[in-house]
Amino acid sequence: MSYSELQVTSNFSFLRGASHPEELVEQAAKWGYTAIALTDRNSFAGLVRAHVAAKKQGIRFIPACRLDLMDGPSLLAYPTDREAYGRLSTLLTTGNLRAEKGLCHLYKTDVYTYSQGIKFIVVPPDKLTDTFQLDPTFVRHVEEYREAFGQELYLGATRTYQGDDAKMLFRLEQLGRRLTVPMVALGDVHYHDPSRRELQDILTCIREKCTIHTAGFRLHPNAERYLKPIDEMRRLFRQYPEAIRYTEEIAAACHFSLDNLQYVYPEELTSEGRTPQEELVQLTWKGAEEKLGEDDLKKFSQNIADELAFIERKNYASYFLTVHDYVRFAREKGILCQGRGSAANSVVCYCLGITSVSPAKTKLLFARFMSDARDEPPDIDVDFEHERREEVIQYIYEKYGRERAAIVATVTQERTKGALRDVGKAMGLSMDALARLSNTIGSHWDDLLDVKRFAEQGFNPQDPHFRKILELAEQLKGFPRQLGQHTGGFVITQGKLHELCPIMNARMEDRTCLEWNKDDLEALGFLKVDVLGLGMLTCLRKAFDLVKQHYHKELSLGNIPQDDTEVYEMISHADTLGVFQIESRAQMSMLPRLRPKDFYDLVIEVAIVRPGPIQGDMVHPYLRRRNEEEPVDYPSEEIEGILERTLGVPLFQEQAMEIAIVAAGFTPAEADELRRSMATFKAKGEVSRFRKKMVDGMVAKGYTEDFASRVFRQLEGFGSYGFPESHAASFALLVYDSCWLKCHYPEVFAAALLNSQPMGFYQPAQIIIDARKHGVTVLPADINHSQWDYTLEAQPGERCALRLGFRQIKGLGEEDMHLLVQARGSGYTSIISLVDVGISLTAMEKLADADAFCSLGFDRRQALWEVSALADRPIALFEGQPSASLREEQIALPLMPHGEQVLQDYAATSLSLKAHPVSFLREKLNLLHVVPTGQLSTLKNGMFVKVCGLITVRQRPATSKGVLFITIEDETGFANLVVWQDLFDRYRREILQSKLLLVEGQLQIEGEVIHVVVKRCFNLNGLLRGLAATGEEDRVNDIFYKGRNFK
């Protein structure tokens, strides 16, 4: 006689179950179960994972759930067919939408409404009454359920070793016989193995917000809630063999599988009764005529026809139509957007308007990304301006309705740090110890558990209690903690979405999302569309608006002049601060070596400075070949076809995969599986198996082992930080556009960038310095001239000047400043008039601090002096009378020295237009033989130099093996420092604490790329303090930016 486990709680019942669905299914398969159900509390979130695992293990999976009701005993629900599954999903949706995120409020009557076709098991009570009876309310409820569900109702029975098991089973059986409700055996499984009980106790503590020492009876008394072998279950229910048999009856009745779910696209995508394919064909050709010139149309008509035929074969027409639909909406609303992803570079996408740049320009052909061989769903991510993406999202909800469109979920997982913290807290560590524990993985630079650091923080790694914490944290790592919403993935269906998967409220207002994440959807073959936000698009739109307003030119993503040599010249000199993607340190030091000349060079530039090519050691061979220091050769002809455009060096994800297929004999599906297995880090063993297969396959075909393992290494790198060619190409478009703006309209670009902050690597101060270097006049913030945003002001000459916006002044509210601007009229003439408008005194003081009263003739001190007297101004009856301060004698305030002015500018606005702080220290620095950064290029390679400046960025990329890159800034420019790991350990304090850093090191000059390899570091914060007035020195530390830390 067989047995199926029907009550299984996985860790998708957050903080209750202590095993992953996969673990439970695997254990069930090991015990020889033929079927297993998953009954998480009011949730379907774990179903797909269990379903996939069960398929792999070859056992049957029953999708189900446990309904925790507000007004009755819990029920386990098992849908028998597709319709019943839809009803159960709808039921959960009803409960979800009624409650706030993460909760589900269900009542008995709801269940009665949707009960058809579902089998139910009543969850038995925990204990009997004092007189060893079942609780009468429970009995009443079972009677009521019997009435409602009839033959579909069963009574659950569990043996938990509570001492009264025998009595409990007897009473349940008695009740079941009386009401003719069969008793069925349940395991109440919470974990796959008894050893997980400790973790389950910890989860209970986290849930109940207590420690293991105070949890008391909230824990389970024993470890019996594990998945038991079938024989053991039979033994436990030996007196009631029927109870075991009924599990089989239920399992047999539930013939619904998640595989039965059919995904159907919405219908309203087509018009005039056309099929999706017909509609797509019509739209494409219509677009082609409008967008392509006659020549191009001829040239590309075959491509278009091929692509359309391919889309028809794959039945992807609806997918393209969906994307086309909301892109069209965004265009109408003037929201900038751009598609990327494997399918986005097709001519069809261009004709549909999903991408703006003609494929003729990019030479990227669809066939390269999509082929019949690769069975991968099409992927079009569309980026929108990040500030206006919500409009697109609400459009989708409105058009398809909340019943048919929802955002995909993301499962938030426990990270190392969080897991350690949660476990530590539950184990009763003090706040202080917890903080220290977090410190062991504190900085975002180290992720792994490092025994040395534990010891440093005063923990004894040998202590058993502490070891237990580490062990449990390790187990907890990767557990789902909550369901969040995906950044922009949507699922849109024809039928009601809630019949496919329960829908829940998201934390954000007006959002609803699914319970499944993108992996789950992919496993079931649902297609999602991505609506993403991109800061650079916001910046570009703002720039286009400014150009239109001040220079009367209509610019858009599609009409920026391409192939501008001036732009490429600028890029080649690494003059790319603030532009898209190629503004980072690593990118900037690559640009002068690569010297991009055309668009495809930019594509390569974007893709090459990535962990994949760097780890695969592809960068230097490529550079050597490009600079003709090394001959370009190909291991074979078939590979030449793949690697031709990158000079024989694989740089893109597709290339590595194609090589696996062509040269190592992988099937396309295998190649794809290979990429996935690397992306998820899950199957460590799998990777080495693939490695062998790949290297052996290639060696067998006559390639060198060195080449083979190099390709494999690169594939490894791509797995985690993949950058396929199509993505790189889409990004390169934005790179070019932002560079073009920076090159031709530096003031517009700076204003747009500053108004889109925070964004990118650089602080406003650096953006301003860079703009001035490009000849932009920058004007200070002023109450009579500034707006909230940065603005452009016409001035004599060709170019506009850039005016600082109030947004740059710390501590000012946007509302307050809008009020100020609105009431400005022809300009303020006195300080009092601002108060009359309703500007608060604190805001006035901030404005005075920022020296924004210059147009009234006050410097910051005078302004502050006047503002501080305002609290005392005549009000009510005396309003309008001259203030007493007018009558008081003039007091001469001490004049502020220049250096302090700059310091105060930094304090109020994080930047100064008057001078660079370091310029005041130059004399002292000269005595120390410090070289201004601007002069570094005139020195010789290999010289020892001293440089000094404010730290702007510290960056320690994952691929740099502990090497830290620092950028410092002085009044003459930037210097790039390289700090090796051991040196960082030695000078940790100086590097992390300094605002003003002096370093001694060796100059490395390679063409235009200049580095200083640091040998010694000194903290010169003391000199900065000298700029401040006496008594204010301590504030200096807060005034200058901390330097941003990047990974």
Partner 1 sequence: MKKHFVSIWFPYLTTDWLSIRRPALRQVPFVFAAPIHGRMLITAVNPLAKTQGVSTGMVVADAKAFVPGLEVFNDRPQLAIKLLKAIGFWCIRYTPIVALDGMDGLILDSSGCTHLWGGESTYLNMLKVRLKENGYHVQLALANTIGAAWAMARFTKESLILENDKQRKVLLTLPPAALRLEADTVRRLHKLGLKTIGSFMGMPQSVLRRRFGEELSLRLRQAFGQEEEFISPLKPLVPYEERLPCLEPICTATGIETALQRLLETLCKRLNGEGKGLREAVLTSHRVDGKILRISICTSKASAHIPHLFKLFALQIPKIEPELGIELFVLEALKVEKADSDQETLWAGTARLENKELSELLDRLTGKTGNCTICRYLPDEHYWPERATRQASFIGEQPNTVWPNDKPRPTRLLATPEPIEVTAPIPDYPPMVFRYKGAVHPVKKADGPERIEREWWIDAGEHRDYYAVEDDQGRRYWLFRSGHYEDGHPQRWYIHGFFA
The binding site for partner 1 (CB under 8 A) comprises 127, 130, 161-164, 166-167, 197-198, 201, 212-217, 219, 221-224, 427, 430-432, 435-436, 438-439, 442-443, 456, 458, 465, 468, 849, 860-861, 864-865, 868-869, 871-872, 884-885, 888-889, 891, 893-896, 904, 988-990, 992-993, 1019, 1029-1032, 1034
Q: Which is closer to partner 1, CB of 614 or CB of 864?
A: 864
Minimum distance from residue 766 beta carbon to partner 1 (Å): 23
Tokens read off for 137: 């309310």
Minimum distance from residue 853 beta carbon to partner 1 (Å): 14
Minimum distance from residue 848 beta carbon to partner 1 (Å): 8
Minimum distance from residue 918 beta carbon to partner 1 (Å): 21
Q: Side by side, which strands form the sheet with 529-534?
A: 337-340, 381-385, 529-534, 480-492, 405-413, 512-517, 503-505
State whether residue 148 is helix, strand or coil: helix
Alpha-carbon span 402 to 141, nearest angstrom: 35
Minimum distance from residue 445 beta carbon to partner 1 (Å): 10
Q: Which is closer to partner 1, CB of 759 or CB of 992?
A: 992
Residue where the block lists tokens 């673990």: 23
Q: Which is closer to partner 1, CB of 219 or CB of 943?
A: 219
Minimum distance from residue 220 beta carbon to partner 1 (Å): 8
Alpha-carbon span 6 to 233, nearest angstrom: 12
Q: Which is closer to partner 1, CB of 988 or CB of 1047?
A: 988
Minimum distance from residue 189 beta carbon to partner 1 (Å): 16
State whether residue 490 is helix, strand or coil: strand
Minimum distance from residue 464 beta carbon to partner 1 (Å): 9
Angle at 770 between CA 767 and CA 771, to 5 degrees: 85
Q: Which is closer to partner 1, CB of 462 or CB of 565?
A: 462
Task: Note whether 830 and 856 are within 8 A (CB).
Answer: yes
Task: Note whether 749 and 543 are within 8 A (CB).
Answer: yes
Q: Which is closer to partner 1, CB of 21 or CB of 780?
A: 780
Tokens read off for 672: 């794809």
Q: HSE of 827 in the Cβ direction (CA atoms, 13 Å)?
A: 8
Minimum distance from residue 513 beta carbon to partner 1 (Å): 28
Residue 944: enclosing H or E segment and its boundaries?
Answer: strand 944-955
State whether residue 137 is helix, strand or coil: helix
Task: Note whether 776 and 801 are within 8 A (CB).
Answer: yes
Minimum distance from residue 984 beta carbon to partner 1 (Å): 11
Q: Which is closer to partner 1, CB of 75 or CB of 1024?
A: 1024
Q: Which is closer to partner 1, CB of 252 or CB of 895?
A: 895
Minimum distance from residue 310 beta carbon to partner 1 (Å): 54
Q: Which is closer to partner 1, CB of 427 or CB of 619?
A: 427
Phi and psi at residue 705, in whole multiples of 5°? -65, -35
Q: Which is closer to partner 1, CB of 162 or CB of 972?
A: 162
Alpha-carbon span 88 to 254, nearest angstrom: 13
Q: How far apart are the first and last CA of the chain?
A: 58
Q: Which is closer to partner 1, CB of 238 or CB of 961?
A: 238
Query: What are the angstrom distances between the C-alpha of 215 and each of 11, 173, 196, 210, 388?
Result: 20, 33, 17, 6, 48
3-state secondary structure 276-296: HHHHHHHHHHHHHHHHCCHHH
Minimum distance from residue 242 beta carbon to partner 1 (Å): 22
Minimum distance from residue 442 beta carbon to partner 1 (Å): 5
Q: Which is closer to partner 1, CB of 19 or CB of 115?
A: 19
Q: Which is closer to partner 1, CB of 386 or CB of 468?
A: 468
Alpha-carbon span 193 to 388, nearest angstrom: 49
Beta strands in 493-573 (DSSP E): 503-505, 512-517, 529-534
Q: Which is closer to partner 1, CB of 166 or CB of 821?
A: 166
Minimum distance from residue 212 beta carbon to partner 1 (Å): 5
List the one residue out of 549, 536, 535 whose CA is nearest residue 792: 549
Minimum distance from residue 992 beta carbon to partner 1 (Å): 5
Minimum distance from residue 456 beta carbon to partner 1 (Å): 6
State whether residue 558 is helix, strand or coil: coil
List the one residue out of 725, 558, 576 whose CA is nearest residue 656: 725
List the one residue out of 239, 134, 224 whose CA is nearest residue 185: 239
Alpha-carbon span 143 to 131, nearest angstrom: 21
DSSP assignment string, 808-849: GSTT--HHHHHHHHHTTTT---SHHHHHHHT--HHHHHHHHH
Residue 973: enclosing H or E segment and its boundaries?
Answer: strand 973-979
List the one residue out of 88, 94, 147, 155 whose CA is nearest residue 117: 88
Q: Which is closer to partner 1, CB of 161 or CB of 944?
A: 161
Q: Which is closer to partner 1, CB of 214 or CB of 680?
A: 214
Alpha-carbon span 802 to 779, nearest angstrom: 6
In this structure, how many other beta carbons lie within 10 angstroms of the beta carbon of residue 16? 16
State whether residue 420 is helix, strand or coil: helix
Q: Which is closer to partner 1, CB of 194 or CB of 665?
A: 194
Minimum distance from residue 1020 beta carbon to partner 1 (Å): 13
Q: Which is closer to partner 1, CB of 48 or CB of 834?
A: 834
Alpha-carbon span 128 to 171, nearest angstrom: 9
Minimum distance from residue 170 beta carbon to partner 1 (Å): 12
List the one residue out of 229, 236, 237 whose CA is nearest residue 192: 229
Burial 761-773 (b: 16+ CB within 10 A, else e): bbbbbbbbbbbee
